[in-house]
Structure 1
């Protein structure tokens, strides 16, 4: 008998055993160390991305700029997610971005 197994990080990243309320946005969930091989956005073990610390810093700076300098909204508010075999937004998750007016009156 031949069995194929497809493991995805999606299955682990959304597992309430490791991340309570996995569907909610909660950056504080990473204040405490996460067990090895539970959160793998950059791979793990011998396949760990060599520049993952730089990538994490770039993502943090980008996200800070996105939430402090811009307003944005989803084009399709209830866009369906397809899984074939990995989850992906059906229309690519387009967004509208508007620069915030930072001038005081």
Structure 2
């Protein structure tokens, strides 16, 4: 087990302004020790010949090609608008201007 004890957890909790009971401190010390040991074991295995990865399985982009299809003209787009002005949708103002 890693050298993380109850006093270390209490100190970290104090720095983070987290109140913890005695039982929580004891339990967290054990959990953090396991986590540190796990990271340590991975660090021992990983060498210069093993590249860093963000995901264990290679991911590929599954997006389709960007192909321009049927597009609406400005007039068609504005034809169903409740209010339009100058070739644009007209909407109520949300900011007060001086």
| TM-score with structure 1 setting the length | 0.29
**Greater helix percent: which structure?**
2
When you count strand as a share of all residues, which structure comes out higher?
1
In the superposition, the TM-score normalised over structure 2's length comes to 0.30
